[in-house]
Structure 1
Amino acid sequence: MTATNDKAIVKEYFNATGFDRWRRIYGETEDLNKVQKDIRIGHQQTIDTVIDWLNTDSNLAGISVCDAGCGVGSLSIPLAEAGALVSASDISEKMVGEAREKAQALLQDSSNVNFEVKDLESLSGNYHSVICLDVLIHYPTEDATKMIAHLASLSENRLILSFAPKTLGLTILKKIGEFFPGPSKTTRAYQHREDEIIRILLDNGFHIERKGMTSTSFYYSRILEAVRD
């Protein structure tokens, strides 16, 4: 499967059945099954971890942030609310439309967050912090390597990534169909070795500042904060 085909699959999925499913997971409706509720909890824990890290540094107000793969704005909106200047993008037009509507409804002033439809490799500019959460799971490591290198080129200071870690236990869960809601409900899922992701970051001029791990019954995400050397 080539990167082009993977991108086409992801784009089609999140503009069709995937959009409705993940909008509900990321939303507030209670009309969810057990797996979807668990994924909602896990995803929010990842968002909360990243926001806690940024708040700890006490430099959110006024800094430029690129939220690559913003989904429905779960991270972009609270960052904008905290005063960051957020450039948010997603490969899915429907996701971006939903994020834009949510921002207008939830923020008193949404002028410091801009949403646009772009795939990750098309992003340009320079930002204090670049954040990419729950995106790399859709791409194999050879493609993720190029994506991380491009994200690194956009970051002046900090790069935060999350990915599904490749471990024996999670590989077994994935194989028996318990790790995700089912083959008809998601795109293909790729796990990544943590040491490989760290090597890519080091090769691109960063060192690891913080690590985090979100682990629920059906959601597993390793979070890395890398800072430019």
Structure 2
Amino acid sequence: MQNASYLERRGQLETYFDRTAADAWSRLTSDAPVSRIRATVRAGRDEMRGVLLSYLPEDLTGVRLLDAGCGTGALSLEAAARGAEVVASDLSPSLVELARERAKDKPGAERIDFRVGDMLDPALGSFDFVVAMDSLIHYKPADLADILARLGKRAGAGIVFTFAPRTALLAAMHAAGRFFPKSDRAPSIEPISEERLRQLVAATPSLSQWQPGRSRRIVSGFYTSQAMELVPA
């Protein structure tokens, strides 16, 4: 059973991405013109997606993969084009529907099973790899460790995810966000240092079968995120 803080934040994320920000995310993840600030975010996300995919085998034929928090489906499509059988899950019905539309007639699209719901739902099944791009960055450290442990129970070969690294720039952006009207605010991110994250993984008994592997930070204008993989210990 998920704890109260996880469920509260999950509800906030569902509301934000399905209602407040659905149109903005549709535009950001397309080829449509965007502002300079959003262009740096788009470029950063494109680079990060490439990093996460590079942590997976080049040939994904027969590999079962969970795209946890798939958004508009770009990572799912790239993984499926490399042969993966993908379950793409997201809380937002609007984003999942957009992902389905964008996947039509694309290489490998027939290997993607789009689902609306919680990425921690056991009914999604078991996987070789779990990938979570920028979908864990809003959860508190204790919840993050629990999420990784729950995903780890259903992953056989690896967990690839991003976290929000604790930097001065992110702290300043977080503080500035408090001045926006509540109706315009995204759910706050929860920065954590790589050292602290590694300590959390080591201190979580249910993650004892996993250990951190490669890690890489991407900084592109207003986009800052850090990739990490967990591999079998």
Partner of residue 171, structure 1: 171
Instruction: Tell me which residue corresponds to 2:153.
Output: 153
How far apart, CA to CA, are the structure 2 residues paired with 1:219 and 1:76? 21
SS at match of 2:100: helix
Alignment partner, residue 91 of structure 2: 91
Q: Does 1:216 align with 2:220?
A: yes
Q: 1 CA distance for matches of 2:158 and 2:146?
A: 18
Alignment of 1:15-164 (within 5 A): 15-30=18-33, 32-54=34-56, 57-107=57-107, 109-123=108-122, 124-164=124-164
Kindly state the Cα deviation for residue 99 of structure 1 after the two structures are TM-superposed.
0.8
TM-score, normalising length: structure 1: 0.89
Distance 1:81 1:224 in 2: 23
Deviation at 1:23, TM superposition (A): 1.2
- Kindly state the Cα deviation for residue 168 of structure 1 after the two structures are TM-superposed: 3.4
1-side partners of 2:117 and 2:173: how far apart? 32
Aligned to 1:6: 9
- Give the 3-state SS of the residue equivalent to 2:211 in structure 1: strand
- Residues 175-207 of structure 1 show CA distances to partners (whole Å, capped at 9, x for unaligned) of 2349xx986152222212222322343441212
Q: Partners in 1 of 2:60 and 2:200 — Cα distance?
A: 26
CA 85–36 in structure 1, closer or farther in 2 if over 3 Å, else same? same
TM-score by length of 2: 0.88
Q: How many angstroms apart in 1 are the aligned matches of 2:210 and 2:165? A: 20
Relative to 1, partners in 2 of residues 1:200 and 1:100: Cα closer, same or farther, differing over 3 Å? farther
Would you say the 8 A contact 1:148–1:200 is kept in 2? no
- 5+ unaligned residues in a row in structure 1: which ranges? none
Matched position secondary structure for 1:66: strand
Residue type at the aligned position of 2:18: N
Instruction: Look up the equivalent residue of 1:211 and give its one-letter code.
Output: S
RMSD: 2.1
Q: Distance in 2 between matches of 1:130 and 1:47?
A: 14
Residue 195 in 1 paired to residue 195 in 2? yes
Q: For 2:61 and 2:173, locate their aligned partners in 1 and report how far apart those are by CA, in whole Å.
A: 41
Distance in 1 between residues matched to 2:71 and 2:199, nearest whole Å: 27
Cα distance change on mapping 1:131 and 1:200 into 2, 3 Å: farther
In 2, the alpha carbon distance for the partners of 1:33 and 1:187 equals: 21
C-alpha deviations, 1:124-157, integer Å up to 9, x for none? 4211111111012222212212211111111101
Q: What is the CA–CA distance in structure 2 between the aligned matches of 1:84 and 1:168, rounded to whole Å?
A: 38
Number of aligned positions between the proteins: 223
* Contact 1:71-1:90 within 8 A present in 2 as well: yes
Task: Report the Cα offset of residue 18 of structure 1.
Answer: 0.9
183-192 or 205-214, larger mean C-alpha shift: 183-192
Q: Which moved more, 1:198-207 or 1:123-132?
A: 198-207
Gaps of 5+ in 2: none
Q: Is the 8 A contact 1:96 1:115 kept in 2?
A: yes
Aligned-partner Cα distance in 1 for 2:66–2:82: 15
